[in-house]
Structure 1
């Protein structure tokens, strides 16, 4: 059920607009992603991973499916989608992490709240924006740069931004 919803959501993205329509609000979405991820690490006793390679299932302590690096996007998506995702490792690992968590939740429904971690980044893609890891930070097209040197501590107690209308 969750895996089908996740695959439909990614398949419904207009990949012809990928990286062409980003705006300043995409920065708010990335801010919320970092805040939600820092909150996750604060609430779960696990060592924070870099925010460009997030495997929530593994961070929760579960061995499930494969490592993100071993998941092939072509198992789930058409070639045009895979080609777009391979231009940004961060986008690629975001989608792999989202797919893996969705599959995991189909068997372990107690963890649905963690899908919200990936939501802001997927919304950037749905809006035609782009984000990438570069030079020790996240570059958000037409929006800005988020340095990652102390990101988890910086975002652990950050105030939420209302992204409901973005």
Structure 2
């Protein structure tokens, strides 16, 4: 009897040890499914760049896609918003990307370096590090110790970046999907 109950206790303890580390310290990425969908849409359309307007903020977002390698996404506002609207209308997505990199209004530029085009990862995987830049501050998602932050601050910064990135990916995805009708 002692042997059977000991086995049950050991099995329960082992199960707890296996389940806890998988979720502890790891954040589920909101951007991951959207980045993968965007990469698939760009592959299907044979596009290496895409851009969209953000109707909520008045900003513009543009992405360069290096198939199977990475997704580089930049966003920001212009002093003359017609620049972005005209580039999108003409499907000059790469040009808009370059414009945003160099001429976005100060303090409005964001930049995501999504290695593997699979969404922002909470920590480096296989030595590959995603990064997020906003308000002239760059955070490489390489762990809180390397970022010289508390775990709580790092987790919060990641969650905010990932949520923002997911939102702009959804705008790009809507632009990349084939239009139906008319």
TM-score, normalised to structure 2, is 0.28
Instruction: Compare the two structures and name the one with the higher helix fraction.
Output: 1
Rg comparison, structure with higher value: 2
TM-score, normalised to structure 1, is 0.30
